[in-house]
Structure formats: structure tokens, C-alpha cells
Amino acid sequence: MSRLAGLLRQPRPASEESCRIRLGERDLEYVLRRSPRRSFALQVDHRGVRVAVPWPATQPEIDRFIRSHHDWLLEKLAVRVPPTVMTVEDGVLFPLLGETCRLCVGEGSRPARWRLGADGVEELMLPGGPGARKALVRALRARALPWFGERVAEFCFRLGHAVPAVRLSSARTRWGSCSSRSGIRLHWRLIHLPAALIDYVVAHEVAHLAEMNHSPRFWAVVTVLYPDWKAARARLRDAGRALPIIDGADAALIAED
């Protein structure tokens, strides 16, 4: 009986389906993803339009959400261009915590390591060969986790809340998530962004420790933790489109409610 109860408590798996909506004078096709998430999210990237919603969302609610972003959506579709995957080779520059970092790709199999270049630019030393791209992702994730953990601890201290477990995420439509059971997850690609924008995402997720919703009480907590959150949220949407695409599967995190 306990085994059956455990199976019944397992989260319902996410689903995806192709849908269509009439926007103005055009029919817009999009991929609808339903999952246990709490919020609605809209994304435009090289794959097209993707909408992520909670399982209970009704079609009228989904249509209203899409139409509420009508102008933004059509603007992004008008300028959408196929992304260019970042070249992983010696001398390539990429953003790290909002600053410029340089790749130094060599021969051999030595582990990735960070150093300060002679010109003051931070460098990431990588082994050459076909494994360089994976080594780059591993190095960025290893750099991200302790940084994010320290920021979560700082905002939890401000909130007066115990520090939860902090893990990395590769979600396609969310910068972060918070669960009372599993703790806080933050997208590893945030490591490319300036520290102030990372702090906004951290403050947002830490605020969920007090309010597991997006009610006025939740935003009041966010305001206490990060007073300039509205400006940061707008900047974050633009910053998502400028992130380097390393493995071709990365998605631009653009719009989320």
C-alpha cells in the first residue's frame, strides 16, 4: 500500500504539444509545454515560440497570456535570426559575471583552470580536442555553483531564513526555481551576467521561501530584498538574448511571468 501511495505522489510528467492562436491578422504556431511549474512563461528563440504553463491552466488563460504579450511577441518574431553557436577556440572572448573572459585552448588533457592574463583579462585554460566544449561547460558550472550559493546565503540572511540546498539548473524557460522540498535551483548560464542581475534572480527565488506564489505579498518581499527589481527584471529579459550559445541546445531565456 505504501508503494502505491508513493507512486501516486510522483509528479505528473511534463507534456508538449503544437498549438495555434490568431494574433491580429496572422496565425501563430507555438509549442505548449505543461508541467508542475507555478507560473506562465513565453520564449522566442531559434526554434520558434514556446509557451510554458502550469498543469491546471485552461486554454482561455493561455490565450489571454499570449495576447497580453502581443506587441512584444510580434517584435521578437520580426527580428528573430538563427543563433550562432560560440566557437570554442584559442583567443575567443565571452562574458563572465558581466566582464570579459578569454579562452586559452591548448593541447593535452590537463583539467580546466582559471588564471589572470598578462593584460589583466581573466582567462580560462582548456584542453584542446573534441572535448573542449564540454570542458568549457563543466568549468562554467563549477564556477557558478559556489558563487550562487554565497549569494543565496546572503539573501537568506537578509530574510532571516535558513539557507536551503542550492543546485544548478539547465531549464529552458526559467532562470530559477524554488521548492520547499528540494531548495533553490539557478540556471548555470546566469554566470555570464553581471552580478547585479544574478542577485535579482537570487532575491526572487529566496523570496519564494517566504511566499510560494506571485502575490502582492511575494513582491513586497522581493522589494525588501532587491528594491530595484523592476528595472533588473526588464534588463534580464534583454540579457537573455545576448548570452553565448555554447552547445546549440541552449535556449534564450526571454520572458517569464
pTM for this predicted structure: 0.69
Q: Are 164 and 152 in contact (CB under 8 A)?
A: yes
- 224 three-class SS: helix
Q: Are 254 and 237 in contact (CB under 8 A)?
A: yes
pLDDT means over runs of 10, the chain (257 residues): 48 80 84 90 81 93 93 77 77 93 82 90 90 92 97 96 94 84 93 95 96 92 95 85 74 47
**E strands within 85-205?**
93-96, 99-106, 113-116, 122-127, 166-169, 176-179, 183-187
Cβ atoms < 10 Å from Cβ of 203:
24
Contacts 24+ apart (CB under 8 A), 117-121: none
| Residue of 50, 86, 40, 46 whose CA lies nearest to 245 | 86
Nearest-angstrom CA–CA distance, 139 and 49: 31
Nearest-angstrom CA–CA distance, 150 and 93: 26
Who's near 232: CB < 8 A, 6+ residues apart? 196, 197, 199, 200, 226
**Domain coordinates in residue numbering, the chain:** 2-79, 140-256
Q: What's at 132, amino acid-wise?
A: A
What is the reported pLDDT for 7? Answer: 41
What is the reported pLDDT for 128? Answer: 83
CATH superfamily of 140-256: Metalloproteases ("zincins"), catalytic domain (3.30.2010.10)
Q: What's at 212, amino acid-wise?
A: M
